[in-house]
Amino acid sequence: VSNAVITGLGIVSPIGNGKQAFLGGLRAGRSGLGPLRRLDPERFRIGIGGEVDDETPGPERGAVLALRACREALDDAGIDPPAAPGMALALGSGAGEMIAMEEALGPPEAELPRDYASPLQPPSAVTSKVALELGLRGRLVTFVNACAAGAQAIACASDLVRAGRAEVALAGGVEILSTMVLSGFEALRAVSRDVVRPFDAGRTGIQLSELAAFVVLEDARRASGRGAEPYATIDGSGTSADAYHVTRPEAAGAGAALALRRALGDAGLEADAIDYVNAHGTATPQNDPAEMAAIVDVFGERTRALPVSSTKGMLGHALGASGAAEVVACALAMKHGFLPPTINFAQPIEGYEGFDFVPNEAREGVRLRHVASNAFAFGGHNVVLMLSAPEGGA
């Protein structure tokens, strides 16, 4: 079994397009959330979200954002797709090109549009468009585990590399804002009317966002052989199901704890080795206490001193892309030696007073050897990724 190392990063997000802008936004604790511009905010109850600065119109927006992130990741890795013909592509997305689906399935049957070259575009349509544009002919895998999809795509791609099924893989997630998704979460009363406050006693819910985030994963020997400098190694992953409720996590976090333990086991790490947990941290009344219960279950008393933060106050909740963005954030944090902050933090969540949520400001000058990144989803799908600094790294 080989190691899968991250040799390239690419991201377009509400806090900046490109890894440098994203890194700057994370370190500054900048929020990318505000009144919607591309969708009419007057049509929604709340009308706040995080948008990517890109004017590509609806039906192709997901593929365009994904391609921007993929191309940056490949450039960053110094890999030209024709030079890696067996490159796999694993993509996660909850809704895919949902604006195209709204136009294709919304009108009554008698008024269906007749002039679409490809009217039905589930998330796999984004995968195939990206592969087509990049000239990829290897394995294509699309995950749709809602908010854990991007993380699962990276877990799958790292397994493909570790198992020798692919020497190089592009993996990540993409999500765009659409009427369907925004109105659905507003109907669920899950959206905050002002700001997103993960792990705060006054948390009032999520705000949705769009982004695309991809990593290049590579066999460690191949990367070393060509002199590439990895950001991090994906040492393991764990997945589980809550088997509890379609939208609510189990209060004790049993499913999430199971995924955390599996990821530790897969990485061959003890819980004590983990220096930082990048939390799913949605800021809903239900997620945050359940996630903390899972973390305490796994890390025990040590949790009080274990930094746990959520980037969703800055990035919003990009659903199927969020886990991938969080892996990019972790890789940058490991390389540059800082902890991304939990912004909008005032009072700790009930029962977790004195815990380290990295409040409001990034913490610089830290050494991160092993990091856990959590992604949990509606339907009870849980994914945890374990990242380690490359040998001799930060």
Partner 1 sequence: MSWGPAVITGRGVLSPLGNGWPSFAEAVREGRTAPVASFPSTLPDDPVAYHPIAEGAGIDSHGRDPLAAMATAAIAQGLAEAGIETGQGPLDDVGLVMNTGFGPSQALEMHLEQLWSKGPLAARPALFVGTLLSMPAGKAAISLGLRGSSGVTNASDPFQLALDWIRAGRERTVVAGGADCLSAKTLRHHRRLASESGSERASLAQGAAFVVLEDAASAGGRGAATYGELLGCGAASLPQRVNVPWPTGDASDAFARSMAEALRDAGLAPEAIAGVCLAAGDDAACADERYALEGVFGAEAPVTLSPKTLFGEALGASGALGLLAALAWAECGRFEAGKAVLVNTFELGGSISTLVVRPTEAQA
Cα–Cα distance for residue pair 291/283, rounded to 1 Å: 11
Query: If binding means CB under 8 A, how many residues of this protein chain bind partner 1?
Result: 80
Which residues 85-144 are close enough to bind partner 1 by CB under 8 A? Answer: 94, 96, 101-102, 104-110, 112, 114, 116-125, 127-129, 131-132, 136-144
Could you say whether residue 82 binds partner 1 (CB under 8 A)?
A: no
User: In the complex with partner 1, which residue's Cβ is closer, 131 or 296?
Assistant: 131
User: In the complex with partner 1, which residue's Cβ is closer, 124 or 224?
Assistant: 124
Question: Where do runs of H (alpha helix) occur along 140-214?
Answer: 149-162, 179-187
Which residues 270-329 are close enough to bind partner 1 by CB under 8 A? Answer: none
User: According to CB under 8 A, which one of 348, 379, 393, 394 is a site residue for partner 1?
Assistant: 379
User: In the complex with partner 1, which residue's Cβ is closer, 29 or 92?
Assistant: 92
Give least dist CB 244 to partner 1, A.
6
User: According to CB under 8 A, which one of 37, 193, 226, 245 is a site residue for partner 1?
Assistant: 245
Whether the CB-CB separation of 17 and 64 falls below 8 Å is answered with no
Catalytic residue among 70, 280, 370, 381: 280
Cα–Cα distance for residue pair 9/213, rounded to 1 Å: 8
Q: Which residues pair with 355 in a beta bridge?
A: none
Query: For residue 162, is it left (φ>0), alpha (ψ between -120 and 50) or beta?
Result: alpha
Cα–Cα distance for residue pair 35/48, rounded to 1 Å: 4
Stretch that binds partner 1, among 238-246, 288-296, 308-316, 351-359 (CB under 8 A): 238-246
Among residues 154, 151, 131, 137, the alpha carbon closest in space to that of 4 is found at 154
DSSP class of residue 337 equals: T
Which residues 177-196 are close enough to bind partner 1 by CB under 8 A? Answer: 179-180, 182-189
- Residue 317 is a catalytic residue: yes
User: In the complex with partner 1, which residue's Cβ is closer, 45 or 221?
Assistant: 45
How far separated are the first and last CA of the chain, in Å rounded?
25
User: In the complex with partner 1, which residue's Cβ is closer, 243 or 251?
Assistant: 243
User: According to CB under 8 A, which one of 19, 262, 312, 317 is a site residue for partner 1?
Assistant: 262
Q: Which value, to the nearest 10 degrees, does the dihedral of the CA atoms of residues 185, 190, 192, 193 take?
A: 70
Q: CA distances (Å), 293 to each of 45, 257, 303, in order? A: 32, 8, 10
Binding mask 349-378 vs partner 1 (x if CB under 8 A, - otherwise)? Answer: ----------------------------xx
Give least dist CB 295 to partner 1, A.
18
Q: In the block, which residue shows the tokens 């195939």?
A: 128
DSSP class of residue 249 equals: P
Six token digits for residue 281: 């941290």
User: In the complex with partner 1, which residue's Cβ is closer, 108 or 365?
Assistant: 108
Give least dist CB 207 to partner 1, A.
16
Give least dist CB 163 to partner 1, A.
6
User: In the complex with partner 1, which residue's Cβ is closer, 239 or 322?
Assistant: 239
Which residues 14-73 are close enough to bind partner 1 by CB under 8 A? Answer: 43-45
Q: CA distances (Å), 284 to each of 29, 103, 262, in order? A: 20, 31, 25
Catalytic residue among 317, 330, 370, 381: 317
User: According to CB under 8 A, which one of 75, 82, 163, 300 is a site residue for partner 1?
Assistant: 163
Q: CA distances (Å), 148 to each of 15, 220, 244, in order? A: 21, 25, 16
**Burial of 394 per CB tally in 10 Å (0-12, 13-18, 19+):** middle
Q: Which residues pair with 276 in a beta bridge?
A: 371
Give least dist CB 390 to partner 1, A.
23
Catalytic residue numbers read 147, 280, 317
